[in-house]
Chains A and B, each alone.
Chain A
Amino acid sequence: MKKIRVLIAKPGLDGHDRGALVIAQALRDHGMEVIYTGLRQTPVQIAQAAVQEDVDVIGLSSLSGAHRSLFPKVIDELKKRNASDIPVVGGGVIPSEDIPFLLEKGINQIFTSGSSTDVLANYIKQLIDPNSSTINKPTKIAHIGIAVNSIDQAIPFYSNTLGLDLEGVETIESEQVKVAFLKIGETRFELLEALSASSVIQTFIDKKGEGIHHIALEVDNINARLQQYKSDGIKLIHEQAKTGAHNSEIAFIHPKAANGVLFELCQPAEGSEE
């Protein structure tokens, strides 16, 4: 896929560019090409730079309170240059009651302080490429999830009898499960033990007994893929990816869509080796 080009600009006179610089670096780490204009750019200069550099999106940063006058001016200047198709997102110290006004003026989205850079990067990826035209087929099985009554009791079979390496055990509080990963070739077994009666693993075991719970497929572009599946009418458990183990992004497809098998989609965290 072609690299997304982003123009990060600081309109107005304010010189605090910590936020702009952090965002620029984060987007680069997400594989985008980032052009930073430097301080004190007028709306005219920003629009000119965006057109000249042929960027896919503009990010504006402001802390001084001038956003109400300056952000809409950038939109106006883009219009004058027939470049209204370049989306503009904004961030900085911006009171929430100003956000509807800015959106109405044509800003696509506002990210205020405390927003995560990952959320911003994913937002931009989806904004530029909603259907991510190149949805590749999954390349491997990330892991096979097996529901067990007790990890401690199950592990001797996997590690001693089969001789697989135990990679680690972790607790996922939000799901009320404890998981253990055992490596086999380029994939893994994930043993899942319920930590409380309310855990989905407990429900599964109560209904079906111990056994294969799900198969996880490693994918890229997870959110675009979900959107695609959704528009294709595939029944999903999660329509948006959420954070799973090792900061990966995960989502489940409903077993009804896959002949009774629960599939997990799993996109490893960027920068991790797998």
Chain B
Amino acid sequence: MNNNDSIPSKEANWKKSVDKTLKRFPERKSTFHTTSEIEVDGLYYPDTNDKYENDLGYPGEFPYTRGIQPTMYRSRFWTMRQYAGFGSAVETNKRFRYLLDQGQTGLSVAFDLPTQIGYDSDDVMSEGEVGKVGVAIDSLHDMEQLLDQIPLDKVSTSMTINAPASVLLCMYIAVGEKQGVPIEKLTGTIQNDILKEYIARGTYIFPPKPSMRLITNIFEYCQKNEMKFNTISISGYHIREAGSTAVQELAFTLANGMAYVDAALKSGLDIDAFAPRLAFFFNAHNNFFEEVAKFRAARRIWAKIMKEHYQAKDPKSWKLRFHTQTGGSTLTAQQPDNNVVRVTLQALAAVMGGTQSLHTNSRDEALSLPTEESARIALRTQQIIANESGVADTVDPLGGSYYVEELTDKMEEEVNKYLEQIKEIGGAVQAVEEGFMQREIHHKAYETQKQIEKEEEIIVGLNKYKLDEEVNPDLLKVDEALEQAQINSLEKIRAERDQEKVDELLTILRTQARVQNANLIPHILDAVKAYATVGEICNVMRDEFGLYTGM
């Protein structure tokens, strides 16, 4: 781009931070070219004007519309993080090591439903669910097996765990300790977003208030121990899967984000101490440009909220970092190979939108958990986008498109309307309790279903271009015998551990739970180390906090 005589400060700032970034993260290549040897610049932008500087600005600079780093994927690709987990810890550990060998750069753990809702595998509620949608974790013993031979100082781990996030985080810390990795060297993310559980996903345990307390306890603990973990991943993914629009996904997620910030501030934390560790998690559906605009708008709205509303001083607090997963509910059981194409489009939108990490769904997920082959194709999809398409060679390649910029502005406008509405209700927690978001989403989900049935919305292979004879793909089967094996192993752990110590630590946890401003994390950690189980620890809290039973 042209350099004028009078270089405005924002442009100069960006150039300075590019130089600084390049020292730490040199670009992947010395020069970038298209196939016709046309050189590709790091960033394309207009001759400077105020509107551009204010609304878009430069990557790595407020309001971050064009990305949170000055050079984005020119220096380093996004983290390719495939969500995996099924059956036993030993089996999942094998899949993890396979994926790491295949070039995956981060782990992402799926837990089974009993673990996610704080039940042990032998609980009556767990019947039929053990190891089905993720790995079964009962005690530290399972976590040790899950992470066996995986160097926790080198691999970052994302854990999809919400209601009992505190327990699983403590197990991770404990395994790190056993491997000799100090707490401040551990990296990763816990999802830890309870509000979206009430809104859309349903794996809650306790009522909102004590749940919010556990979350702020984690913020505080990680900050004190200088843990570089993302303490929460505020998730729009499930809101979208439940049937929301892109605007609703964004609005409700950001509203939830504000509720967590409010809770943390109320518990006495300093905004710039915890805000840089907040992360987000979005969905990517098929409407390509809308998705790109959504990600760009998300960054801009959040940056303004953090800087202008919460008065955060540290630019790190302004940056919205996010993980993306392609849209599971967009995939069809019919003609599953078509899903590879859908996932490609969605992944491309996420990359064009500037995601920090990405999970691409497997083609068979409308039928069952992915097979190893389909998980590999999903990962390869990302690798092809990264290495072959050239879309990662310049920052925010769609920036400046009349269409994308207009969509980004419109998205911001619509999201702000919702945020205003939620503010009037009294904030996200109140809105969730009143079922406001739930109703908005259900209404939209039903509308969509009717549109599909009337063929006003075309889903290829489902309501149009159908095949009479579907070929059944090979599916992954979780062994039904696994449940019993997991129960046996749990009983063995219970028999071998120091029961007196476990009882004593659980009693301490119970007493502390009654103390309003006590931080429970150190007590959970002690209990975990003594091999108290997820179910035992959660039962103590269930007794003290009560159960949430839905609307």
Contacts and interface: CB of A to CB of B under 8 A. Distances in A.
Interface of A: 12-18, 21-22, 25-26, 38-40, 42, 64-66, 68-70, 93, 95-97, 112-114, 116-118, 247
Contact of A114 (B128, B333, B369, B480): B333
Contact of A25 (B129, B446, B480): B446
Nearest to A119: B453
- Is the contact region of chain A dominated by helix, strand, or loop, or is it mixed? loop
Given A93-B367, A96-B472, A38 B550 contact: yes
Contacts of A25: 442, 446
B472 A97 contact: yes
Contacts of A65: 132-133, 368-369, 478
Nearest to B127: A69
A117 B449 contact: yes
Contacts of B125: 13, 40, 42
B164 interface: no
Interface in B225-259: 241-243
A21 B445 contact: yes
Contact of B129 (A17, A39, A64): A64
Given A12-B113, A93-B366, A95-B368, A18 B445 contact: yes
Nearest to B365: A93
Given A93-B366, A114-B334, A16 B201 contact: yes
Q: Sorted from nearest, which 5 A-B pairs have the closest CB atoms?
A: A15-B202, A69-B128, A13-B113, A66-B128, A65-B132
Contacts of B454: 247
Contacts of B478: 65
B345 interface: no
Given A64-B113, A95-B368, A12 B472 contact: no
Interface string B126-156: 1111001100000000000000000000000
Interface size class, chain B: 35 or more
A3 B473 CA distance: 41
A97 B117 CA distance: 29
A15 B201 contact: yes
A22 B202 contact: no
A174 B169 CA distance: 59
Contacts of B446: 21-22, 25-26
B245 to A, nearest CB: 14
Given A15-B202, A21-B442, A114 B332 contact: yes
Given A13-B119, A65-B478, 14 more contacts: A13-B117, A16-B242, A18-B442, A18-B445, A21-B442, A21-B445, A40-B117, A65-B132, A69-B127, A69-B128, A93-B366, A95-B475, A114-B334, A117-B449
Interface string B297-322: 00000000000000000000000000
A42 B119 CA distance: 14
B241 A113 contact: no
A19 B378 CA distance: 26
B202 A14 contact: yes
A21 to B, nearest CB: 5
A113 B332 contact: yes
A26 B449 CA distance: 9
Interface in B103-134: 113-114, 116-117, 119, 124-129, 132-133
Contacts of A18: 241-243, 329, 442, 445
Contacts of A118: 453
Contact of B453 (A39, A69, A116): A116
A143 to B, nearest CB: 22
A93 B368 contact: yes
B27 interface: no
A64 B125 CA distance: 14
A64 B132 contact: yes
6 contacts: A13-B117, A16-B201, A18-B241, A21-B442, A42-B124, A95-B368
Contacts of B453: 116-118
A13 B332 contact: no
Contacts of A97: 472, 475
B203 interface: yes
Nearest to A65: B132
A68 B480 contact: yes
A112 B202 CA distance: 21
